[in-house]
Structure 1
């Protein structure tokens, strides 16, 4: 590894929010394994006290299976090494001043060189007030704290490529300005544009303050989806993340800012070992239902690329951007860490790899029998999809009658298919916008970032999505990792 690249991290102190999350853990592991002479890493952990934050550090990071390579490297000194680098900070991006103890906040403000903002609420249809507080207000609170930091060299804000909402075609790596509305930019005539309301981020936050006391949780969820779609976003998550970007960009002042926009982040392809994943990511509930025989048809365009990126590649891109821009920074940089332009995987191919895996390695049901899956059937409308589900239900009920079963078992079959129809409808409500998505994320800046790295740096911190063999990754790395780390640990009732 080139000394100049590594030297950019030597002795540098980092502050990371969302440190106990999926992406945060992989970032921490990579830094400590490959850049051990980094300075302190302050981890903002949601906790009531310093003691509670230390407990979460021990339970969720130090004891996590992800860190087994570091345990092998350091042996008996593993704990002491980790605690010499990691500083748990009881705090919360949902609170003013991040709710960090005053003396510790002053220490961080004096010492931190790089801030990495990962904390987010990633539920697509979250309550509007909850999503706004974390995804929109949260970044603004952190950038306000960053303005107090005396030697800050970089603020890295991790967002999502889907802040681009319902944009179509090749979507460029450019920042959001306050009040941008995707719905308005898609209209071609002035009269049509004027018919839509302007997006006022401050007004959106005030709107929640006026209503949240009187609205039930369901209504708050409906409000989030309604506001998102009014302004051209597909769901509450992408909308509130976009408004968070607007605030950070508007409030940055002289702070060097990099925005990282990954797409659908899935399991590791290589580091620290292939297939590590924690919890269900975006496509994983679909894999789980399909592998267990509960999903045979889906609402999707089979020709649409499903933009997947691998978590260790995202982390490597984040580190490359830190190394490049913490030393010098002319203007805000946006990086799409995505695959839909450089190495797209089509929806039909993705499901084909699911089928090949489960046909070769079927899931074993509670009765010890293999679950036989069929190739996925795709539909363009919910009516067609539900018709197919009920056709299968009628066929199953007929088989039960021909077998001479009593009425009650036949009724159980009907109830099972009704439940399955509801599950499929819920999946479609969540995923429809992504499986018919018409945008492709341009990654010109990201490709240039790779070009600026030495061959040695690319080997150690590689994130070239063009190198991914999707068939091998999905069938031999991701699904086995999902089965090992998630499916075998959870019941089928994931909703």
Structure 2
């Protein structure tokens, strides 16, 4: 927005920090100094930082606190001036503690909505959610909001009696369980298990999407006359073209698997290679947000609109195709091991169940250890250490497989008709500047030449080694 719409006024950035100085420091380190803004640096030159600080206002706060943790004067100032509120705060850990996920993903949006009602000039409340809040729905999934208490399992498992989803009761359940533990550490795993269990009961894959869905419910039920837009992107990955191709920050959903595969640590995985993997470049998500702000922020009608920023219907790519492209990339541009040697990989194997996958990993890990040393002649302590490492690796991969298994067999596809209509209503110039047409994505080019090199540069931070292929 600062690059394409430089006339924008102030952008208040809520930052969870202890004081304003710390918030300013974090804004500089994580935003202003970030490589993502190198195009802006080139435009503004020496005045770049002054330009950024004139537009970005760091605000000490927290969506988990009353009044968003802001001091009274700051809250009053924002409420007097702000026109659009964008909520992208979320805890994205699949198996987060239930109380933590509820506080951020469910109650957080509700607190922000309460503050939005105090904003005199507000034209739009925009909430960034996830397409996977649709849980275990199958087939074509429409861009529809959630009603309060709506359960996925009611439709997907009609023969099973599912209790009505009561969001307030879920929050009380988590609170009561916390109070039953003498110490917070002892209850951490129990709280993770509770979130997972509650999600599965009502038809969601994990705690993350379950609590995000409940957040949407509270927004819809409490929005009153506020204009609301909910953006539901799928698996967000590196930039396709803007401001430059391949930028990514941190490991996203599918990236830990791709990185482990490239390092030779993931010879197989649980999943169906024909499963459609819904990927969307991050710049297309941002452009969709800006386009929705422009359309609904000017009209300011008291309605709720949902947009799937997704690819599974308009331009699908399968898990098998992604892995094949990863194989081609890491074969021609292999990663290096700790000794600086090229890591060779094989085509990935697919397993139909978690049990068969863990059995294979147990066998494969033990085989690799035997190739290194004859365990029978090793010192008992060394042998025990190697066997312990083998067990830890098995547990880590089994845990990852458990988290990803629902998505590796996912049978839903996200209709994006509303997003297409949003594009159709844009001018030719706007379409060029804020493109998010997923049909234009060339997946082979994107995965091999943009995303995987971007991962190696920005996440793994290694230079690939070119290998001539006959």
Number of the residue aligned with 2:28: 58
Secondary structure of 1:69's partner?
helix
Note the 1:18-97 alignment, pairs <5 A: 31-97=1-67
| Offset of residue 415 of structure 1 | 4.6
Gap runs ≥5 in structure 1: 1-30, 490-495
CA spacing shift, 1:400–1:112, aligned 2, 3 Å: closer
Note the 1:202-241 alignment, pairs <5 A: 202-215=168-181, 216-241=187-212
Q: How many equivalent pairs are there?
A: 454
Superposed CA deviations along residues 337-387 of structure 1, whole A, max 9, x for unmatched, are: 011111111010010011000000111111111000000000001222233
Secondary structure of 2:350's partner?
strand
Number of the residue aligned with 1:20: none
Cα pair 1:397 1:410 within 8 Å, conserved: no
Number of the residue aligned with 1:188: 158
CA spacing shift, 1:416–1:374, aligned 2, 3 Å: farther
Number of the residue aligned with 1:428: 401
CA spacing shift, 1:108–1:384, aligned 2, 3 Å: same
> C-alpha root-mean-square deviation of aligned residues, in Å?
1.7
Counterpart check, 1:440 vs 2:413: yes
Secondary structure of 2:298's partner?
coil
Secondary structure of 1:240's partner?
helix
Number of the residue aligned with 1:199: 165
Secondary structure of 1:316's partner?
helix
| Equivalent in 402, 412, 427 of residue 454 of structure 1 | 427
Cα pair 2:335 2:343 within 8 Å, conserved: yes
Number of the residue aligned with 2:468: none
Bigger drift between 52-61 and 237-246 goes to: 52-61
| Offset of residue 103 of structure 1 | 1.0
In 2: Cα distance, 1:383 partner to 1:446 partner: 40
CA spacing shift, 1:394–1:128, aligned 2, 3 Å: closer
Counterpart check, 1:344 vs 2:316: yes
Number of the residue aligned with 2:467: none
In 1: Cα distance, 2:17 partner to 2:384 partner: 48
Cα pair 1:294 1:420 within 8 Å, conserved: no
In 2: Cα distance, 1:73 partner to 1:62 partner: 14
Gap runs ≥5 in structure 2: 182-186, 463-470
Superposed CA deviations along residues 227-253 of structure 1, whole A, max 9, x for unmatched, are: 111111000000000000000111111
Cα pair 2:354 2:402 within 8 Å, conserved: no
In 1: Cα distance, 2:391 partner to 2:255 partner: 22
Number of the residue aligned with 2:356: 384
Superposed CA deviations along residues 166-201 of structure 1, whole A, max 9, x for unmatched, are: 111111100000000111122435xx4xx3211000
- Normalised by the length of structure 1, the TM-score is 0.89
Note the 1:121-160 alignment, pairs <5 A: 121-160=91-130
- Normalised by the length of structure 2, the TM-score is 0.93
In 2: Cα distance, 1:419 partner to 1:129 partner: 28
Secondary structure of 1:174's partner?
coil
In 1: Cα distance, 2:154 partner to 2:397 partner: 32
CA spacing shift, 1:404–1:79, aligned 2, 3 Å: closer
In 2: Cα distance, 1:251 partner to 1:138 partner: 13
Secondary structure of 1:35's partner?
coil
Secondary structure of 2:283's partner?
helix
